[in-house]
Structure 1
Amino acid sequence: MLEESLTALAAAGGGAVVAAMATDAWQVTRDGVVRLFRGRSEVEGRLDEDAALVAGAEDPDGARQALVPAWALRLRALLAEHPECAEELRALIRDVPGGQHSVQHNTAHDNGRVFGVQHGNIVFHQGPESRHQSPESRPDA
C-alpha cells in the first residue's frame, strides 16, 4: 500500500514538474525540484535540457506528455531511496503555480443528471423537471 501511494505521488510530481516547463511557473518549480534532489548537478542539467525541449517543441503539450513518465520514474527512485522526501514533494506539487487548475463543464437536459468529480469532491446537480412529465410522477405532486 505504501509503495502504491509513493508511486502515485511520484506520478503526480512528474506531471507537476513537466506542466511547469516553459511557463512563468518554471523557475519556482525548477528551484523546488533542485532542492528536493539536494542539488544533484545531473538533475539540474536534466531539468534545463527538458525545459529547453518543451520550449522549442512544435507541440509543447505533446513534449510535456512524453516527459512525464521519465520524471515520475526519477521521483519514484528518489522516494525509494529517501521516503522522507514525500512530504516535500507533496508541498512542491501543491505550490506549483497553476498546478491544481481544473475546468469541468457539464450540462443536464430535461430530467438528466450530472455527476461531476474533481479532486475527490462529488457534486450533484439535477436539471429542471421536464414539462412533459405527468403530474403523478413528480415528487411534489
Structure 2
Amino acid sequence: MLTEALAVLAANGGAALVAAMATDAWQAARNGTARLFGRQGSQRQAAIEAQLDGNIVLVERASDPAQARHGLAPLWQMELIRLLEEHPEAEAELRELVTHIRDALPAAQQQWTQVVMTNIARDNSRLFAALGGNVIYHEYPSSTAGGEHPSPPSGAAVDSSD
C-alpha cells in the first residue's frame, strides 16, 4: 500500500501533467512521463505515449480545456499510483519531473500543480469537501422524542388551520 506522501506525489504528478497539456511545457512533460513508465517495459511505455497523445487532443479540442483537465487529472493520478506501487524507486524521478513541469508552466497553469487537501472532522462534527467539484447537502429536521416536529424558525409562516 502507498504511503500518504506518495499518494500526494501521484496526485501532484497527475495535476502537473494535465496542466502541461496544450502548453509549451507539454513535450517535456510527455517525454518525462513516458520515460517513467518505461520501467514497466517498452510496450507499457508505448501504451502510455499513445494515451498521452490522445489526452492532449481532448484538451486541445475541448470547448473548456480546464474541464477536460479536471477529468483527466484523476486518471493520471491513478496511473502514477500504480507505477509507484510497482516501482517505488521511481519516487525521486517523479518528484523531479513534477518540479520541472511546474517550473516550465505558464503562470495561469501553475495553479494546477498543487493538489493537497486536508480535512479533519472531530467530536460529532460533519465535514463536506470537494476538490474541483460541488457538494450539495440536504438535511431534513428530525422528529422530537414525542413524534412532533420542531418549531419552525422565528418569522416563518405557520399554518394553524388543523
RMSD of aligned C-alpha atoms? Answer: 2.0
Larger radius of gyration: 2
The residue number in structure 2 matching 1:51 is 56
1:1-141 alignment runs, 5 A limit: 3-38=3-38, 39=42, 40-96=45-101, 97-98=104-105, 101=110
Q: What CA deviation, in whole Å up to 9, does each residue of 1:71-97 have, x standing for no partner?
A: 000000000000000000000000011
* Alignment length (residue pairs): 103
- The secondary structure found in structure 2 opposite 1:37 is helix
Please give the alpha-carbon distance, in whole angstroms, between the structure 2 residues aligned to 1:23 and 1:56: 13
**For residues 62 and 84 of structure 1, do their structure 2 counterparts lie closer, same or farther at Cα, with a shift above 3 Å needed?**
same
**Quick one: higher RCO (CA 8 Å, sep 6+), 1 or 2?**
2
Deviation of 1:98 (Å): 2.1
Which amino acid is 2:90 matched to? Answer: C
8 Å Cα contact 2:59/2:65 also seen in 1? yes
Unaligned runs of 5+ in 1: 103-118, 120-141
- The secondary structure found in structure 2 opposite 1:24 is coil
Q: TM-score, normalised by structure 1?
A: 0.68
Unaligned runs of 5+ in 2: 117-162
Q: What CA deviation, in whole Å up to 9, does each residue of 1:16-73 have, x standing for no partner?
A: 0000001111001101001111151110010000011000000001100110000000
**For residues 99 and 84 of structure 1, do their structure 2 counterparts lie closer, same or farther at Cα, with a shift above 3 Å needed?**
farther
Which amino acid is 2:31 matched to? Answer: D
Which amino acid is 1:43 matched to? Answer: I
Identity, % of aligned positions: 48
Please give the alpha-carbon distance, in whole angstroms, between the structure 2 residues aligned to 1:2 and 1:58: 36
Deviation of 1:2 (Å): 5.9
Instruction: Compare the two structures and name the one with the higher strand fraction.
Output: 1
Q: TM-score, normalised by structure 2?
A: 0.60
